[in-house]
């Protein structure tokens, strides 16, 4: 089986396509169920953020896997396959591992170095585990990606290369008002409205509260959730029905909901700024968008959305630490590949040791038939001696074959071992049976 990634991101597709292809949270579970229900795939995970939708799968047929994953992405996103296909990218085996590790480090983010992607990768793994679609390969892969991302942030200055989309977006709003203002000075004494109570909205609300806004209002469809967030930051919660009224009072608005339609229309925003002399700054971090693009044309309203963030990020300088992170990624990809290749020999080694154990048991039974006078202590001593001899004979070859299997091109050693010892293919297959708990089978 081999790792396959099919997806699209801000690097391959325009925001208009990403917006339409965005997966609703409720759609991710059924998508994974459909993927593992297809013939080419045995494991699946979906990474869906505001600027990427990617399917990871363990497949036994490359071309069939690409076709099936592409079709399912189109089906669950609602975008026709022929329209989606030009924007899809495909990564396979080591290139797929390299891609996810780069994503985890923030190298493939719209804002290079942002750390929020680690939480999104963790969520993707959690959903796959809940759906029982993540087996040993994807559990190992995603857990290692999280470790690689944390290593990159702790060992390099990649954090200086970029910020979260929230911080970057607020910086764009501050710069539009006054190029010399940082977010803290710009936001101080402003009245803020945050629409949504998810992770991105919580980060925005926290950032604004720390910057010293005079008022923080959280609006959400679930008032209780908005209340918990507002209470932790000294703000107040309101139902979504009050958004138009609160909009008229606000100086800065951040919206990031899971809504499939617009939350703020151009007419609503125009009505909120009518008759006032102060500007209204809006940051839309949702995918699909929460704020009507027509707001760009509303006087006294300044909108920063995913599309304008992508344009600004393209001009952002990259830190020198990016090269160090690329080195970490390359080393970790090599180590992961070696570990996976070595793991493929494990079922064969377990089957070999099982066969050796059966031989010892058979010979001891034959010996007991020929020497029935042996007492229990003597039988135990002979059995232990024979087992020690077998273990010593097998130790060096099995250790060495695991080392060799971890090297590029080492997959053939498992075949050689099975052929040399005439191992029962069914025994090896039983040990190799996919285990979606993420753990290796234990030898008996």
> Any idea which residues carry the catalytic annotation?
50
Residue 329 is encoded by which pair of tokens?
Answer: 């990624």
- Among 6, 13, 252, which Cα is nearest to 110's? 13
Length of the chain counted residue by residue: 444
Residue 317, Cβ density class (10 Å: 0-12 exposed, 13-18 middle, ≥19 buried):
exposed
Q: How far apart are CA 300 and CA 325, in angstroms?
A: 42
* Contact in structure between 173 and 204 (CB atoms under 8 Å): no
Of all helices (H) and strands (E), which one includes residue 329?
helix 321-343
- Among 154, 99, 433, 163, which Cα is nearest to 319's? 163
- Among 334, 359, 340, which Cα is nearest to 421's? 359
Phi and psi angles of residue 286, each rounded to the nearest 5 degrees, phi first: -85, 155
Phi and psi angles of residue 107, each rounded to the nearest 5 degrees, phi first: -70, -25
Q: How far apart are CA 400 and CA 419, in angstroms?
A: 17
* Contact in structure between 205 and 229 (CB atoms under 8 Å): yes
Q: How far apart are CA 232 and CA 69, in angstroms?
A: 42
Q: Name 393's Cβ contacts closer than 8 Å, sequence gap at least 6.
A: none
Neighbours of 245 (CB within 10 A): 10
């Amino acid at each position: 089986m081999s790792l396959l990634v099919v997806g699209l991101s801000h690097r391959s597709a325009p925001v208009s396509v990403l917006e339409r292809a965005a997966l609703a949270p409720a759609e991710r579970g059924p998508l994974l169920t459909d993927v593992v229900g297809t013939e080419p795939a045995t494991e699946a995970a979906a990474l869906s953020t505001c600027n990427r939708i990617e399917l990871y799968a363990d497949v036994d047929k490359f071309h069939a896997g690409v076709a099936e994953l592409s079709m399912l992405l189109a089906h669950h996103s609602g975008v026709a396959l022929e329209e989606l296909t030009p924007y899809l990218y495909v990564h396979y085996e080591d290139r797929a591992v390299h891609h996810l590790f780069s994503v985890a480090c923030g190298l493939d983010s719209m804002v290079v170095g942002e750390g929020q992607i680690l939480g999104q990768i963790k969520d993707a793994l959690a959903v796959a585990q809940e759906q029982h679609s993540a087996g040993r390969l994807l559990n190992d892969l995603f857990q290692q990606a999280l470790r690689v991302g944390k290593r990159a942030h702790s060992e390099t200055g990649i954090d200086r290369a970029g910020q979260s989309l929230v911080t970057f977006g607020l910086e764009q709003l501050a710069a539009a008002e006054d190029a010399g203002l940082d977010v803290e000075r710009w936001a101080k004494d402003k009245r803020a409205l945050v629409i949504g109570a998810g992770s991105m909205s919580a980060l925005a609300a926290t950032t604004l509260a720390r910057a010293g806004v005079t008022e923080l209002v959280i609006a959400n469809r679930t008032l209780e959730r908005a209340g918990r967030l507002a209470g932790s930051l000294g703000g107040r919660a309101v139902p979504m029905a009050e958004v138009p009224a609160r909009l008229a009072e606000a100086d800065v608005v951040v919206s990031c909901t899971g809504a499939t339609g617009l939350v703020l229309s151009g007419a609503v925003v125009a009505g909120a700024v009518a008759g006032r002399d102060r500007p209204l700054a809006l940051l839309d971090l949702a995918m699909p968008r929460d704020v009507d693009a027509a707001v760009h044309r509303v006087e006294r309203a300044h909108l920063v959305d995913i599309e304008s963030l992508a344009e600004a990020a393209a001009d952002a300088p990259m830190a020198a630490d990016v090269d160090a992170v690329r080195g970490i990624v390359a080393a970790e990809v090599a180590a992961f590949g070696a570990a996976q290749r070595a793991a493929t020999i494990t079922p064969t080694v377990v089957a070999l040791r099982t066969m050796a154990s059966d031989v010892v048991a058979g010979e001891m039974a034959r010996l007991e038939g020929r020497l029935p006078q042996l007492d229990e202590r003597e039988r135990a001593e002979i059995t232990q001696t024979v087992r020690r001899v077998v273990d010593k004979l097998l130790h060096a070859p099995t250790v060495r074959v695991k080392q060799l299997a971890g090297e590029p091109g080492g997959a053939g050693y498992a075949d050689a071992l099975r052929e040399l010892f005439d191992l029962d293919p069914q025994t090896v297959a039983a040990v190799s049976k996919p285990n979606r708990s993420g753990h290796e089978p234990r030898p008996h």
